């Protein structure tokens, strides 16, 4: 059975755009019942419950042509005619009224109803006519909106057992004071001074602060962490060992290749590069390469041997001009001098060093250095190690042909922390390829957690991101935190493999090392939600974020989000100065709750195509919710 998830707004997006004014203007929709175009309704924006007959008559109301008539001929039935609910201002002083008349002995009334987030009536107040007025009599009721009120409505009521015919007209609903609807105590986020951004149809994450121009209330950017899953590879073969390192994943069609370092003999010449393969990114088997002999047999998964194997890091070349013989490429220590050599392969198994000299020489390189084809910059990009200011750091350079490289430069960071970044793990993020993300292993060399353990040092992994490959923002708290096992609180553990692998419709997998220099050296898989590295999060308190001005392309907006059972998110499109755009306000937005990687946001204003030529901002208000990404689409 296919179950369609609904939100409370589905049945409400029928008629007019909403308002949440805080003055003495009449907020009640169609107050004199003059409009009646909606099929199945007594009048536009008014609906009845099951009960006695209510009809709209047009032979003269109190002020116009129309009014409504209740015909109550039953002692066991009543009726409530209620206007469309509008956003309530918590703490606001509301006044509801309507004009009523009757030629019978009945005493109808006026209700002021308040509803919570889930549509449950949480408070009401009513007043009845004084006597049974033959002429029009105004009935007024007043009440302060409770803090948990989300919506308010005025209603006209025919009481059970109160038999008679009466007419009603000119309903009114006003408010003075009160807080932002759905957000008691919240101050609206103010527009900053960031310049407009042509977002087009790019998916935007919140790994950096680029998109957000203002925040208020209980909202923040929250770093998330991969959920540790199974061990995918135990390094228990005699040519692998307790110092296996520098794992790299490569997606090649339906297979996932995993390259890593092993050790068959002491020294650099005894290091080997090994290869395992998987069809799902979870279950790996060693490839029987049959290339290099170990203890008299070539029945092993060694694909390179010698100094280059120390940090051999392959990638699948996505350059459309790449020749078949160089479909795979790699960087590693050169066998022809100090520096990084470049390697090629037609199949990821049979490799050769391409040049008779190192291609990149400005660097330290005793790390997992890497390179890949960057389709947006249309060049190969390298990231490798060099020391700076007493810590291990990262340099970058580029090449058009993979052979000749520009002079390397250091990355620049938005903070001034001095940290040892042992690896870098930088890559283009496939679901948002304009973003670079990286997972450097962060090494703290002086710390000892396990008494008597040598060499000293502990490690974790952090998240970094960039939009140009040079300027990076870094998170100070760990993306991969060591577990409770003592064996991962020793040196050079928790080092991420390079690459993210899609292992399900909702998840990405990242891998990291455990038990380095211990028996049982292994590689663990972790899973994280797609786009789920960082979210806009509001937990326990309503919060709001406002984006920089955006130039959009498309007619709708998709979001990746999750809420608690009590959580919600609303969206508003604003002018560049932060004022709401009619029919796209927070109160024209659906109240979104649930957990979906792809959801199209609904406003009463409908299509966004009319806003494509404008500079707009997006206001996001939420409680007990996470927003992971958004994009505008056609």
The whole-number pLDDT of residue 39 equals 84
Would you say residue 12 has pLDDT above 50?
no
The whole-number pLDDT of residue 117 equals 86
Residue 450 burial by CB count (10 A; 0-12/13-18/19+): exposed, middle or buried?
middle
Would you say residue 7 has pLDDT above 80?
no
Q: Which of 80, 85, 79 is CA-nearest to residue 145? A: 85
Tell me what the pLDDT averaged over the chain comes to. Answer: 94
The whole-number pLDDT of residue 185 equals 84
Would you say residue 1 has pLDDT above 80?
no
Given this chain, do its domains 21-176 and 197-223+534-633 carry the same CATH topology? Answer: yes
CATH superfamily, domain at 197-223+534-633: Galactose-binding domain-like (2.60.120.260)
Which CATH fold would you assign to the domain 227-529?
A: Tachylectin-2; Chain A (2.115.10)
**Positive or negative torsion for Cα 220, 530, 211, 548:** negative
For the stretch 198-253, pLDDT in tens is: 999 999 999 999 999 999 999 999 999 999 999 999 999 999 999 999 999 999 99
**More confident: 595 or 18:** 595
Buried b (16+ CB within 10 A) or exposed e, 221-244: bebbbbeeeeebbebeeebbeeeb
Please, which pLDDT band fits residue 8 given cuts at 50, 70 and 90?
Answer: very low
**Domain 21-176 CATH assignment equals 3.60.15.10:** no
Distance CA 619, CA 584 (A): 10
The whole-number pLDDT of residue 528 equals 98
Rounded mean pLDDT of 97-117? 95
Residues in Cβ contact with 448 at an 8 Å cutoff, skipping those fewer than 6 apart: 456, 457, 458
442, 445, 448, 454: CA torsion to nearest 10: 120
Q: Which of 146, 18, 147 is CA-nearest to residue 87? A: 18
Would you say residue 384 has pLDDT above 80?
yes
Domain ranges of the chain: 21-176, 197-223+534-633, 227-529
Would you say residue 14 has pLDDT above 70?
no
Rounded mean pLDDT of 317-330? 98
For the stretch 15-71, pLDDT in tens is: 456 555 545 689 999 999 999 998 889 999 999 988 889 999 999 899 999 999 999
Distance CA 21, CA 181 (A): 10
pTM: 0.90
Q: Which of 564, 567, 557, 562 is CA-nearest to residue 619? A: 557
Question: Percent of the chain at pLDDT above 70?
Answer: 96
For 3-7, 186-190, 274-278, which range has the lowest pLDDT when averaged over its residues? Answer: 3-7
């Amino acid at each position: 059975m296919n179950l369609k998830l609904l939100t409370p707004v589905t049945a409400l997006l029928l008629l007019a755009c909403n308002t949440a004014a805080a003055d003495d203007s009449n907020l009640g929709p169609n107050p004199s019942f003059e409009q009646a175009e909606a099929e199945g309704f007594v009048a536009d924006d008014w609906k009845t419950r099951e009960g006695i007959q209510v009809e709209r008559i047009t032979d003269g109301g109190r002020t116009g042509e129309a009014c409504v008539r209740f015909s109550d001929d039953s002692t066991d039935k009543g009726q409530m005619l209620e206007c469309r609910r509008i956003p309530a201002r918590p703490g606001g002083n509301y006044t509801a009224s309507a004009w009523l008349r009757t030629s019978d002995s009945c005493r109808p009334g006026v209700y002021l109803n308040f509803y919570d987030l889930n549509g449950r009536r949480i408070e009401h107040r009513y007043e009845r006519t004084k006597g049974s007025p033959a002429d029009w009599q105004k009935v007024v009721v007043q009440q302060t909106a409770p803090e948990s009120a989300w919506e308010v409505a005025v209603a006209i009521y025919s009481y059970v057992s109160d038999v008679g015919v009466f007419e009603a007209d000119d309903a009114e609903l006003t408010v003075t004071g009160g807080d932002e609807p759905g957000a008691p105590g919240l101050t609206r986020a103010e527009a900053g001074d960031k310049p407009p951004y042509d977002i087009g149809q790019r998916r935007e994450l919140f790994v950096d602060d680029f998109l957000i121009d203002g925040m208020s209330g209980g909202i923040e950017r929250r770093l998330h962490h991969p959920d540790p899953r199974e061990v995918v590879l135990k390094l228990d073969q005699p040519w692998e060992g307790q110092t296996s390192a520098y794992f790299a994943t490569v997606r090649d069609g339906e297979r996932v290749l995993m390259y890593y370092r092993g050790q068959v003999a002491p020294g650099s010449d005894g290091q080997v590069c090994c290869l395992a393969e998987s069809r799902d990114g979870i279950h790996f088997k060693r490839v029987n390469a049959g290339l290099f002999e170990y203890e008299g047999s070539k029945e092993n998964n060694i694909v390179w041997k010698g100094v280059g194997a120390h940090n051999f890091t392959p990638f699948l070349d996505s350059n459309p001009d790449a020749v078949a013989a160089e479909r795979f490429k790699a960087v590693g220590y050169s066998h022809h001098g100090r520096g990084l050599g470049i390697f090629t392969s037609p199949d990821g198994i049979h490799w050769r060093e391409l040049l008779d000299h190192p291609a990149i020489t400005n660097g330290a390189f005793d790390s997992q250095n890497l390179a890949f084809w960057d389709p947006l910059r249309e060049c190969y990009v390298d990231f490798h190690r060099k020391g700076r200011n007493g810590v291990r750091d990262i340099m970058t350079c580029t090449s058009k042909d993979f052979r000749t490289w520009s002079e390397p430069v250091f990355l620049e960071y938005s903070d001034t922390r001095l940290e040892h970044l042992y690896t870098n793990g930088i890559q283009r993020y496939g679901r948002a390829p304009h973003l670079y993300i990286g997972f450097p292993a962060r090494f703290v060399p002086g710390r000892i957690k396990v008494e008597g353990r040598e060499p000293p040092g502990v490690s974790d992994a952090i998240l970094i991101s960039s939009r140009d490959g040079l300027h990076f923002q870094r998170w100070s708290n760990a993306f991969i935190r060591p577990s409770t096992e003592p064996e991962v609180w020793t040196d050079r553990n928790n080092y991420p493999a390079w690459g993210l692998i899609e292992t399900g419709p909702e998840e990405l997998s990242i891998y990291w090392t455990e038990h380095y220099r211990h028996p049982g050296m292994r590689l663990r898989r972790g899973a994280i939600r797609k786009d789920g590295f960082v979210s806009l999060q509001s937990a326990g308190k309503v919060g709001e974020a406002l984006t920089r001005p955006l130039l959009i392309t498309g007619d709708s907006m998709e979001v990746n989000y999750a809420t608690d059972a009590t959580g919600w998110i609303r969206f508003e499109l604003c002018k560049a100065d932060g004022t709401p755009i009619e029919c796209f306000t927070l109160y024209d937005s659906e109240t979104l709750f649930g957990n979906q990687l792809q959801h199209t946001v609904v406003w009463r204003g409908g299509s966004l195509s009319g806003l494509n030529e404008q500079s707009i901002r997006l206001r996001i208000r939420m409680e007990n919710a996470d927003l992971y990404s958004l994009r505008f689409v056609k």
